[in-house]
Amino acid sequence: DTEVTQTPKHLVMGMTNKKSLKCEQHMGHRAMYWYKQKAKKPPELMFVYSYEKLSINESVPSRFSPECPNSSLLNLHLHALQPEDSALYLCASSQDMRRPGNTEAFFGQGTRLTVV
């Protein structure tokens, strides 16, 4: 099973709403990632969790709050978003890339988020 599952696939939320994106993998990977992708642009790294601890935060605004409840799950909590936050949010997982030989990252299908 090389699948990273993201829910929901589509989400429309108002600027005052609170919502969460969910990501799940069962490949035994110990690193999980959130990326944001705008149309016709490459994915931009937001957060990296390694062994359930936050290891990278790419200066993401606090209205995005990640959470890693266990090694298989990754959440992204959203609050008071702006219309410019509308994008495809991608989750990915991999073995610990800091170890030699661990390279491949598997991406989920993404959540298409629209902020109105």
Partner 1 sequence: QQQVKQSPQSLIVQKGGISIINCAYENTAFDYFPWYQQFPGKGPALLIAIRPDVSEKKEGRFTISFNKSAKQFSLHIMDSQPGDSATYFCAARGQGAQKLVFGQGTRLTINP
- Which spans of this chain sit near partner 1 (rule: CB under 8 A)? 4, 31, 40-43, 45, 48, 50, 55-56, 90, 92, 97-100, 103-110, 112
Do residues 33 and 91 lie in contact, with contact meaning Cβ atoms separated by under 8 Å?
Answer: yes
Nearer to partner 1, 13 or 105 (CB): 105
Find the shortest distance in angstroms from Cβ 91 to partner 1. Answer: 8
Nearer to partner 1, 82 or 104 (CB): 104
Burial of 6 (0-12, 13-18, 19+ CB in 10 A): buried
Nearest CA among 78, 74, 54, 53 for reference residue 64: 78
Find the shortest distance in angstroms from Cβ 10 to partner 1. Answer: 10
Nearer to partner 1, 60 or 80 (CB): 60
CA distance 22 to 111: 9
Nearer to partner 1, 110 or 115 (CB): 110
Find the shortest distance in angstroms from Cβ 95 to partner 1. Answer: 11
Instruction: Give the C-alpha distances (Å, rounded to integers) separating 92 from 17, 55, 81, 83, 108.
Output: 25, 15, 22, 24, 6
Find the shortest distance in angstroms from Cβ 56 to partner 1. Answer: 6
